[in-house]
Structure 1
């Protein structure tokens, strides 16, 4: 058996499942540019972490978001306060004298902070300390019924752009600009990995504190855990692709073999333990070269290290080794049982991976064909069109901004930030992602400006706002997705320019019938490649890519959809995601009613056929609620109340993805159909 060939085969299989180097790089760049934009303004900052931030897109890849206030800063000793204006920023001092390694108490020496922090404090040792449990209670008091508590986080289930769902953990924490003294030994260990510039960047950005104490500590309810989430994703970024694939292999090994058929409460090992094993294995230089030919050898090194930890009952935290992450869970009989199970797997050798559905076929291919040669060149693993499908889906799903911040002045600040970013060195993925962010911010600004000045009664202001809004939306149509042309059609309809709206709709139709068009995940790969293959991502986005239309809940786009947007807001949803062709037919119907009743009826007929008969390509499953709703609205406006009633009832029967049931129910009650 040629172990190197088998390693290459598994590497190729994992690249297809987990991502090629190019795919992983694009995912990270897109998330990084989004975070950079969102953290330029306001007091609150946020940071994404978790598997998806690292570059994974497995079905259960999670998202973690950490939030903190910039006007509260944690320091390790009083001398560090000289770097701050203590009249504007609350100083919080670490006191880890009575806490286990990796945990600390947070002391407010000046007893001055925000109200949410002060209400979370307890008196201890003559001082005022921020209680982690009280802080969690205060933060979680505003949670929705769909949220649940998970460790230091509130967890909810989110819908994704590709219609999967995942758990999204949100942690409200504190930040320190300084590296923890208890982790200083980590800096001294970094001789071979990570590179010096990564070490310096990690140390320069400090750490965070999340609201959970050590289960065996003296102050569990009041302690805070030191979080290295920011350092960890930067370490994952610094891995070469074989190391990243090894990390993914360990995650799949955990899920599909070690924890297979175990309930959540029965599992002892978690993904964080796998990550820690990979970190230690890379830093200890136990493998001379991390390359595709050595993938299985790298996996075996990590697996042996994991078994050693379980045998000894010690899993040393990568940054603070004195923090034994097995201490409160893996000991006694549970430890013995887990070791026996892992050692039983170890005795099977590499054949144990045959029990993983994700890995099995890559091994069988080599076993059945010993003379097999494997090409690990990433350009042979995924076509240009397949890569672009994922890339533009990723850009669209990350093209989101906090709707509570969508105000004109903040939109202008966003645009100023983009102007500065354009001058900085950016990757091709960051450039095209920034281009789409710009289009979205211009589109939001255009509608916000119009809504601000519509009812002022000052003609000059209204004229200027209208002219600026039109210019912004023309720019959106020029360098956004093909589908973004519908924003200017909505604007023309909203401002009673019905013929102009219909003209834009006609032009949009011409672009949408091109045989190479990529709509959501659907594309004729050969025609797409022939038409735009090899061109820049910016050109592809402008000429060949269309997506569903996002309507943010705090912006009025057209009055006909205001009840649905308000229903979203009431139910803690913030965006309507409308299938492109549904909105196209709706706008054509609405605009034609004022200039061409025959065309209006034809548009309504097209909309009805689409909603009744489409099986997914044009109306995804999770968007059928809003699609039936829009059909009902148009039928009601046309005077066909029975048909409208049927459509509204169908909307209520769909998956409530958009949470518009309140609006739908009211529309039904307002029909007043005679018996």
Structure 2
């Protein structure tokens, strides 16, 4: 009896140890919550302010689900807001066809999970009209032609991968962009899923999923009759909602399967590498949770859930059938796992199965946490998530997520006003604490956009009274934004003062910013001295921390005009489909100082330029992100050209062209170089 109890205790300790390790790799429940919720509130605002003619953006994939694993893709889906797919003609009555393009799904000749899409009403997009092919006096949108028409290849090395445009940024960040079509109705072929939902998810979640419909991504079934015309039904939104309903132990089990796939299964052989993917892992977790095979999902039982999922995968590979969670008739293995590859993959997985949970020792990320328990079975393990991360560690990631989801780029004053009205209405919603602080940052961003839009409307008019009123309103909004934004939000006030020819006022703001940035407890992006940060603002509200001790980089809306000297860069970025310029805060600080001092003191202007030059040339990534080096070298070149140092300016523009084109300003760099040459100003 004591032996059984010891074995059981040892197993629980093993599960707890892996749970702790997964919280370190995948994240605690708190981290996962604010990753999801900051993105959710951002997308909620986007949807509410979207116009009929807009293209809607939605993040999908593992990062959207709350993972931040090394190698996680940045997946985005895009669709035309004025295009909708319907399943039968009766659904057309829900739309005003004068401003909606309707598309009819016809799955009568397609395998489960796929369909043909017939264009019922004309599209205003050339990409859609050009992708149409006639068939039996009807126009169908060809998925392969649609991919060709819509994939932009804005980033170096991008390629077509399934329905997506894929690539890597600097060999580190992988991305998948999928242009798709939206449907407001749940697919009839997935109706059986609704009836299966007895224990999980609950009825409220099921109803929410059904209300949100589905999407169609441009890829056909290779063994179907119409591979190049067919589209695949995508349940990305439904999957996000299902993942969000998992408890943290279930989510960590999903994370462990992803890690096990990457570090163990994919290392077995070159032939079977990449046959299984993350989507198969997620599908297995969905089925296991819904079938209620694991009686209790908790830290002490974590490896039980993992093993049940692994056995289900083994069964699927043996049979060559992985049923889609929403449309089981759609076999996800159909075109990939068969023949000798299937046999070899099964043998490899079965070999791991025979080893039992010891097979986890092949995972470098997990191994040491298992051996610690095996060598010390009486080891005491704390699974209290609150003690796993410090306040500073949580703040670093939270503020990074808020910054990444806190900026909108409205195109004109009407859009700015609509954003402000939307934000006002959202204040009364039942928001989480993370969503409230994210909404606070979004509000600051819209106030800043509105300020510069107002100034640009009246700066070249003779309407002095209106100019005065606009200036007063703009200044008030910028100061208000700085009160509940980050330290760097003060930078927009300095930019505005320079634009309004109030150079000394602008410099007084840059001096305040410099004092704040010199604080030993400053959190700049992810760089921070945790002890000093905690001493300075530990235990205070997030709003106080943001205002007093946290800074990130600057974003400028390319639909407006913030600094006239960057007009060429703004136009280049817009041509390359970039709605914002991303500029390192310290680069912008020295840039504005230089611009203001040129009108007051040329010696101090030269000093600001020298500081900028040292920063751009010698920073190792702490203050000038590698992604923003294109604009940093460009700004340095602009300043050098303004002082007459044309050779140095030419060198800086050329250096800008050699950087990764994150901001899409390479056209501007080329124009500036050409201008230097054509005017014979450079020998």
Q: Which of 60, 64, 68 is the matching residue for 2:71?
A: 60
> 1: distance between equivalents of 2:78 and 2:673?
41
Matched residues, number: 668
Could you tell me how far apart the structure 2 residues matched to 1:650 and 1:131 are? 42
Indicate the residue corresponding to 1:244 in structure 2. 251
The answer to whether the 8 Å contact 1:111/1:128 transfers is no
Matched, 1:349 2:360: no
SS at match of 1:348: helix
CA displacement at 1:216 relative to structure 2: 1.5
Distance 1:69 1:331 in 2: 37
Tell me the residue number matched to 1:495: 500
How does 1:496-575 map onto structure 2 within 5 Å?
496-575=501-580
Counterpart position of 1:137 = 148
Looking at structure 2, the residues matched to 154 and 655 of structure 1 have their Cα atoms a distance apart, in angstroms, of: 18
Could you tell which deviates more after superposition, 145-154 or 245-254?
145-154
Conservation of the 8 A alpha-carbon contact between 1:567 and 1:659: yes
Unpaired runs of at least 5, structure 2: 1-6
Q: Does 1:42 align with 2:47?
A: no
Aligned to 1:366: 373
Name 2:4's counterpart in structure 1: none
Q: Deviations over 1:597-617 (max 9, x none)?
A: 443343334334434443332
Distance apart, 1:258 and its partner CA: 1.2
| 1:20 matches 2:28 | yes
Q: 1:429 aligns with which of 421, 431, 434?
A: 434
Structure 1 residue aligned with 2:223: 216
- The equivalent of 1:97 in structure 2 is 108
In structure 2, C-alpha distance between the alignment counterparts of 1:308 and 1:412, rounded to whole Å:
56
User: Which of 299, 303, 321 is the aligned partner of 1:296?
Assistant: 303
| SS of the residue 2:178 aligns to | strand
Determine if contact 2:154/2:576 at 8 Å carries over to the other structure. Answer: no
Counterpart Cα distance in 1 of 2:663 and 2:138:
48
Question: Structure 2 length normalisation: TM-score?
Answer: 0.91
Aligned residue number for residue 80 of structure 2: 69
Q: Residues 68, 582 of structure 1: CA spacing in aligned structure 2 closer, same or farther, 3 A cutoff?
A: closer
1:191-206 matches, within 5 Å, as 191-206=198-213
- 1:615-651 deviation digits (Å, cap 9, x = unpaired): 3322333334433443343344344455545545554
Q: 1:263 and 1:427, CA in 2 relative to 1: closer, same or farther beyond 3 A?
A: farther
CA RMSD of aligned residues (A): 2.6
Select the residue among 619, 622, 646 that pairs with 1:617.
622
When normalised by structure 1's length, the TM-score is: 0.92
C-alpha separation between the residues in 2 aligned to 1:500 and 1:146?
A: 45
Change (3 A) 1:574 1:111: closer
Gaps of 5+ in 1: none
Mapping of residues 392-403 of structure 1, within 5 Å: 392-401=399-408, 403=409
In the alignment, is residue 336 of structure 1 matched against residue 343 of structure 2? yes
Q: Note closer, same or farther for the CA distance 1:132–1:653 as it changes in structure 2 (3 Å cut).
A: closer
Going from structure 1 to structure 2, the CA distance change for 1:121 and 1:673 (only over 3 Å counts) comes to closer
Q: Is the 8 A contact 1:144 1:572 kept in 2?
A: no
Instruction: Give the Cα separation in 2 of the matches to 1:263 and 1:573.
Output: 39
Q: Which residue of 2 aligns with 1:606?
A: 611
Q: What is the alpha-carbon distance in structure 2 between the residues aligned to residue 441 and residue 629 of structure 1?
A: 27
Residue of structure 1 in register with 2:597 after alignment: 592
Q: Is the 8 A contact 1:399 1:437 kept in 2?
A: yes
Residue 261 of structure 1 and its aligned partner are, at CA, apart by 7.5
* Larger deviation, residues 86-95 vs 251-260: 86-95
CA contact (8 A) 2:406 2:439 kept: no
- The 8 Å contact of residues 406 and 444 in structure 1, kept in 2 or not, is answered as no
TM-superposed CA distance for 1:263, in Å, is: 6.4
In structure 2, the partner of 1:443 is: 448
- For residues 289-336 of structure 1, give each alpha carbon's deviation from its aligned partner in whole angstroms, at most 9, with x where no partner exists: 011111111110000000000111111111111111111221222211
Q: 1:464 aligns with which of 443, 461, 469?
A: 469
Q: How far apart are residue 146 of structure 1 and its match?
A: 5.2
Contact 2:475 2:493 in 1 (8 A): yes
Task: Find the counterpart in structure 2 of residue 4 from structure 1.
Answer: 12
> Counterparts of 2:516 and 2:304 in 1: how far apart (Å)?
51
Q: 1:665: Cα distance to partner?
A: 5.0
- The DSSP-based 3-state class of the residue aligned with 1:47 is strand
Residues 247-286 of structure 1: pairs in structure 2 closer than 5 A: 247-260=254-267, 267-286=274-293
User: Is the contact made by 1:353 and 1:359 (CA closer than 8 Å) also made in structure 2?
Assistant: yes
The match for 1:379 is: 386
Equivalent-residue separation in structure 1 for 2:71 and 2:622 (angstroms): 24
| Matched residue, 2:177 | 169
- 1:551-582, CA deviations, whole angstroms, 9 ceiling, x for partnerless residues? 23333222223333344345554433222222
- Counterpart secondary structure, 2:540: coil
Deviations 1:226-276 (A, max 9, x none): 211111010000000010011111111111111137669952111111110
Report how far residue 377 of structure 1 moved: 1.0
| Deviation sequence 1:405-463 (CA, Å, 0-9, x none) | 52111111111111111111111111111111111111122112222222233333322
Change (3 A) 1:223 1:181: same
Query: CA separation in 1, counterparts of 2:655 and 2:368?
Result: 43
Q: Distance in 2 between matches of 1:238 and 1:46?
A: 23
The answer as to 2:483 corresponding to 1:452 is no
